[in-house]
Structure 1
Amino acid sequence: MIIAIGTENPTKVNAVKAALAPYLEASFVQADVSSDVSDQPKSDDETLTGAINRAKNVLYHSKADLGIGLEGGLIKTNSGYFLCNWGALVDENLKPIVAGGARIVIPDEIGERVFKGQELGVVMDDYVKKHNVRQNEGAIGIFTNGLVDRTKMFTELSTLLIGQYLYQQQVDK
């Protein structure tokens, strides 16, 4: 089996491999494909759509057996700004399998900058005076004091996807 991952971001690639490798004999390929949404999704719907689009686009371009798309975004609620993340798993025969991940509130000053048009990764680099937070601990790692980093968050999300896929395979037998 060949599993295609719709990004070249090492955090997300490592997360998918860690989650799926114990359950499927597979080789992994990755490709930087479009999410067909804005660079910085600002709603659950847009973030979920981006994950599904990445999964479909990488499946189409790679001719793999499964496509995986992961997307991070930000949402604004009455309780503040929250990180959100969604994942999707697709194959040629199933409707997309989707799952949502961890959510935590972030400081208003960060959310406001993102909703004014800046990407979260750029804002986080400036906020913590580091380079490339998005490909390392991510905002989730910063705001959980390192207890949950971006790889851990996306590994859990990918595990939700593969669990649903395996269940579906069992039911379809």
Structure 2
Amino acid sequence: MQFRKRQNIQESEKPLVLVGSKNPVKIACTEDGFTQAFNRSFLVEGINAFSGVPDQPVGDEETLLGAKNRAINSQKVFPDANYWVGLEGGIDEDNHGMFAFAWIYVLDRNGKSGQSKTGTFYLPKKVAELVKGGMELGKADDLVFEKENSKQQGGSVGILTHGVVDRSEYYRQAIILALIPFLNENIY
């Protein structure tokens, strides 16, 4: 996708937000989150951005790093946007089992950043076993639940809540929370 250079963005124009992924769910929830948070329209586009972490990040540190890298690498690819967003889903384990979550990282053209983590939810043992065996969560979900490309649809959260909370809704709230520093510039 070609982007036109935006050097002097006027208030009447839609600010450009680049998402470090071509996943349509991540693009749509970013647009929804920004629109709700700022009560205005944005042009939101997705680009492939390198995360610098494994396909299935484990733990907060690795998952947050993936989100941050996606935002920073999006900025390197197209520095004329207004915001760059990285979303990275991860897993971890505790004494109750394996759980899933995501980190959101937002960067603006002034170098300000915001970050937020979604809620967590536990994965079924069958899915967790496949992930422990080296399979990415989305592929494990597809196999166990007989789906195709579920991570570009409702994702694990959508499958397990029977569509009550889909992946877009799950991310949207965390995107808005990551925007808190931009919504309150006088105190951040």
- The equivalent position to 1:89 in structure 2, one of 86, 106, 129, is 106
Aligned residues: 171
Q: Secondary structure at the match of 2:93?
A: strand
Distance 2:148 2:45 in 1: 26
What is the one-letter code of the residue matched to 2:58?
Answer: K
Distance 1:91 1:58 in 2: 11
Distance 1:91 1:146 in 2: 33
The answer to whether residue 123 in structure 2 is matched with residue 109 in structure 1 is: no
Tell me the TM-score normalised to structure 1 length: 0.92
CA positional deviation for 1:136? 0.6
CA positional deviation for 1:49? 0.6
Structure 2's unaligned 5+ residue stretches are 1-14
CA positional deviation for 1:29? 2.3
- Structure 2 counterparts to residues 142-153 of structure 1, below 5 A: 142-153=159-170
What is the one-letter code of the residue matched to 2:59?
Answer: S
Partner of 1:18: 32
Decide which structure has the larger Cα Rg and report it: 2
Per-residue CA deviations over 1:21-77 (Å, capped at 9, x if unaligned) read 241553222201111100111111111110011111111211112110001011111
Q: Secondary structure at the match of 1:171?
A: coil
- Structure 2 counterparts to residues 23-172 of structure 1, below 5 A: 23=38, 24-63=40-79, 64-167=81-184, 169-171=185-187
Between structures 1 and 2, the one with greater helix share: 1
Distance 2:59 2:47 in 1: 24
Compared with structure 1, are the counterparts of its residues 125 and 160 closer, same or farther at alpha carbon in structure 2 (3 Å cutoff)?
A: same
Distance 1:28 1:137 in 2: 20
Q: Percent of counterpart pairs with the same letter?
A: 31
Q: Which sits farther off after the overlay, 18-27 or 73-82?
A: 18-27
Partner of 2:3: none
Q: Which sits farther off after the overlay, 63-72 or 158-167?
A: 158-167
